[in-house]
Amino acid sequence: MSIQTDTIAAVATPAGPGAIGILRLSGPRAADIAAAVFRPLGKKGLLDRPVRTLVYGDLLDREGQVIDRVLCTYSRGPESYTGEDTAELHCHGSPMVLTLGLEALFVQGARQAGPGEFTQRAFLNGRLDLAQAEAVADLLDAQSREGARHAAGQLSGALSRRVGEIYSALVDLMAHFHAVLDYPDEDIDPFTQEQLARDLTRQETALERLLATYRRGRQLSRGVRCAIVGRPNAGKSSLLNALVGYERAIVTDIPGTTRDTVEENVELGGVPLRLIDTAGLRESADPIEQLGVERSRAAMEEAELILLVVDAAAEVTAEDAELTRAVTEAGKPWIFVAAKQDLVERSTSVGLIGAEVRAAARTVELSSKTGEGLDSLARAVAELFPRDAGSGYGELLTNARQAQAAQRALEGVRRAREALELGVTPDALLTDVEEALSALGELTGQSVREDVTARIFQRFCVGK
C-alpha cells in the first residue's frame, strides 16, 4: 500500500445550488489547510478544539475575505474515512461560495482530488477492502431500497466476511499440509485423502453458492431490463407513466405515437427495473415507424423481463396472437398485462388471449388510469425475481469483476478436487488451491493489480 504525501480537496456535494455544500480535504496537511481558511467564532482556533467536533465560524477566500458563515470539523488519521487527516467545511450550497472556498484551499497547498480518490485512499490505507470500496459506488448509484440495503451491507463487510470464510478454510488446508511436509518429526496428523476431498468439496460448494448470487446482485445494482411491448395504442406508454409516477411518455389516442424506445428506472415489488417503453409492434410503411419497431424487437431480445400489454377493451387481433407467440418463444420471464380495465365494460372483448396464456405466464389485469391492478403487477414481478433467502444483505456479487474472480477461484478448487480423485499427490494439487486463493484475494483487493483498482475508482464521482 502506498502512502500519500499530498493533500487533496474537492466539492463533495452535487453541482448546482442547494441547501448545503461541502468542501472535503484529506492528506497530511488537511487540518492545517482547513484552519488557514476557517476563522472560528470564539477565542479558540480550530485545531485547539477536539477532533470530530463541528465548529461555527467564517470561511475566508484566497484574499482572507469572509465569504460565508459555515461549520468546520477535522479528524486525525488513522481514525477517519480515508485513514489520513481529514477536514470538512459545511457551507451554504452556493456554487460561487464553493468555488471561492476551493480556490482558497488550493492556495494553501491542496490540490484537486480525482474521481473516487477519497475512497481510493481509504482502500490504500486499509480502511476499506476493494469489495467495500465498490459498495460505496453501488450505494451512490442505488435505484431501489433493496439495492441500497445490499450496498450498505456490502459496505459493512458482509461480502468480505463471506469470502474471508472460504479464503481462511483454504489457507488452513494449505498450512496444515505444509506443516506435515516441513516438520516431519513433529506430531502433526497428516491429511487423509478423504479429509482433503471433504474439505475441497465443502469450499467448492461454498464458491458455487457465492457465484450463484451474481445474477441477483447484478439486478440489484444495475436493474432488471424490462421491455414493455404490445400493439400500437395498447396502453404501453400509459403503463410506463403510471409506474414512474409522472407523464414521462406522450400518450394519445393516435396509434404509433411512440417512435423510439423510452427508458426509466423504477422499483416495483422490491425489484429495480429499467423500464423500456417500446414502439408498437406492427407492420408499417412509415420508415420512421419501421425503425422504431426494429428497436422494439431489439429491446425485447435484450430484456430480462417482458411485459406484454394488450388492450382488454378492444377486439383481439391476429397481431396480438402473433406477438404473444413471439414473447412465449423468447423463453424469458414475462407477464401478460390486460390493460385499460376501466374501459372493459364498453367492450364485447375482455382480452381473450389472456385466458390462452395463463398457463404460460402470470396474467395481470390493470388500469393505468385508475391505478387498479398495479399492486398485482408488483407482486408478479416480486415472484419472478425473489430475494435470495440464503444470502443476507451485502453478501451478493454485484459486478463482472467480482464474478470472474469467484469463477476462477471455483475452477481452481474444482481442479484440485478432481486431481485428488485421479490420484494426484496432494503437493501437486495444492498449486490449484494457491490459484484459487489468489483469485479470492482479487475480490477483496489483497492481490489485485494497480491498473485494475484505477479502473474501479474511475467510475466514482469527484469528492467521494
pLDDT tens, 423-461? 877 677 788 988 999 999 998 888 766 766 777 777 778
The residue ranking higher by pLDDT, 259 or 170, is 170
Residues 98 and 144 both lie in one domain: no
Strands (E), 278-382: 305-311, 334-339, 362-365
Residues 92 and 172 both lie in one domain: no
pLDDT, the chain, mean: 83
Residues 122 and 172 both lie in one domain: no
Tell whether the model's pLDDT for residue 401 goes beyond 80. yes
Residue 428, domain CATH: 1.20.120.430
pLDDT of residue 23: 97
- Per the CB < 8 A criterion, the answer to whether 292 and 217 are in contact is no
Residues 300 and 330 both lie in one domain: yes
Q: Looking at the whole model, is its pTM more than 0.85?
A: no
Residues 236 and 188 both lie in one domain: no
What does the block give as the cell for 7?
A: 493533500
Provide DSSP, 269-283.
TTEEEEEEE----S-
Residues 150 and 201 both lie in one domain: yes
Strands (E), 326-416: 334-339, 362-365
Tell whether the model's pLDDT for residue 192 goes beyond 70. no
Does the residue 57 lie in any domain? yes
Residues 148 and 288 both lie in one domain: no
Which of 352, 351, 381, 358 shows the shortest CA–CA distance to 235? Answer: 351
Residues 172 and 285 both lie in one domain: no
Residue for grid cell 479558540: 44
Task: Quote the domain boundaries for residue 96.
Answer: 8-128
Does the residue 431 lie in any domain? yes
DSSP 114: P
What is the mean pLDDT of the segment spanning 114-131? 92
Number of domains comprising the chain? 3
Question: 21-37: b or e for each residue (b if 16 or more CB lie within 10 Å)?
Answer: bbbbbbbebbbbbbbbb
Residues 117 and 62 both lie in one domain: yes
State the pLDDT confidence band at 183, using cuts at 50, 70 and 90. Answer: low
Residues 228 and 360 both lie in one domain: yes
Last residue of a domain, one of 355, 384, 413: 384
Does the residue 451 lie in any domain? no
For 320, residues 6+ apart whose C-beta sits below 8 A from its C-beta are 231, 310, 353
Condensed to tens digits (0 to 9), the pLDDT of residues 409-424 reads 999 999 988 988 888 7
Does the residue 274 lie in any domain? yes
Residues 359 and 234 both lie in one domain: yes
